[in-house]
Structure formats: structure tokens, C-alpha cells
Amino acid sequence: MNYSYVMGVDESILELEKLGFKINKVRNNYEVTFPKNLSEVWEEYITKKLDLGFWNEYITGDNVIFLFHLDTGIERYVVEDFINDEVLSLCERLCECKFDSLYKMLSDNEFYKKNVFNVR
């Protein structure tokens, strides 16, 4: 399964449930779980929803896919072992904050912590 935590999208995301996505609304955000065969559908949907200067990531069993909406367009990065200095730098620059690491940034998210990192 793939996991993504999404902020800043409208309720059109709920339409993905018809395709096999599991979506849980948490305040104004969404926890999204989907099978690997729907990764392309997810990327197509989320890249249309990303505002300039924002990103989305989804965690697979093997890596993390980051999709950034930059001045140059959508940039896609595949990160293995939660290590990629360029991606970490982009995240820090776009949200104007500092992270210890990509692993720490993602594992601090309650949805990822519960489903990916198995910490309860």
C-alpha cells in the first residue's frame, strides 16, 4: 500500500474512493491510502491540485515519492532510505523551516507514524 497525507485540496479528492482509494478527512486535511497500481492515478490527480511552492509525498513500501510544484513546473523525486539532501533542502525552503531529516519530518506525522512506521 501507498500512504499520503494531503493538505490544501478540496473535497474532489473523495471522488478517488470510487477507484479504490481509502480517504479519511482529518479537519481540513486528508489521509490517503491506495494500492501501488493506482500510483499513476494519484500523481495525475495531486499534481493538478498542487499550488506553486507546495509539495506532496507518498510513501511506498520501498521509497518515498515527492512531487514539488516549482517555478519550473512539477518536479518528481524518488527517495530511497529517506535520504536525499536536495529534497530535504526543497522542503525546508518551501515551508521556511528546518528538519533534522526527511525521516524525522515524515515520522512526526501521526498518519505516517501509525501506518508506515508502526509506532503507536
Is a pLDDT exceeding 50 seen at residue 24? yes
Q: The C-alpha cell of 62 is what?
A: 520501498
Confidence of residue 119 (pLDDT cuts 50, 70, 90): low
Q: Which residues contact 73 (CB under 8 A, 6 or more apart)?
A: none
The domain total for the chain is: 1
Strand partners, 34: 2
Is a pLDDT exceeding 80 seen at residue 42? yes
Where in the sequence is the domain holding 54, given as residue range(s)?
Answer: 2-110
Transcribe 95-109 into DSSP letters.
HT---S-HHHHHHTS
The answer as to whether 64 is a domain residue is: yes
The answer as to whether 50 is a domain residue is: yes
**What is the spatial distance between Cα 41 and Cα 81, in angstroms, rounded to a whole number?**
24
* Tens-place pLDDT, residues 47-59: 999 999 999 999 9
Mean pLDDT of 72-95: 97
The answer as to whether 81 is a domain residue is: yes
Mean pLDDT of 53-82: 96
**What is the spatial distance between Cα 96 and Cα 13, in angstroms, rounded to a whole number?**
27
Is a pLDDT exceeding 80 seen at residue 118? no
Q: The C-alpha cell of 61 is what?
A: 513500501
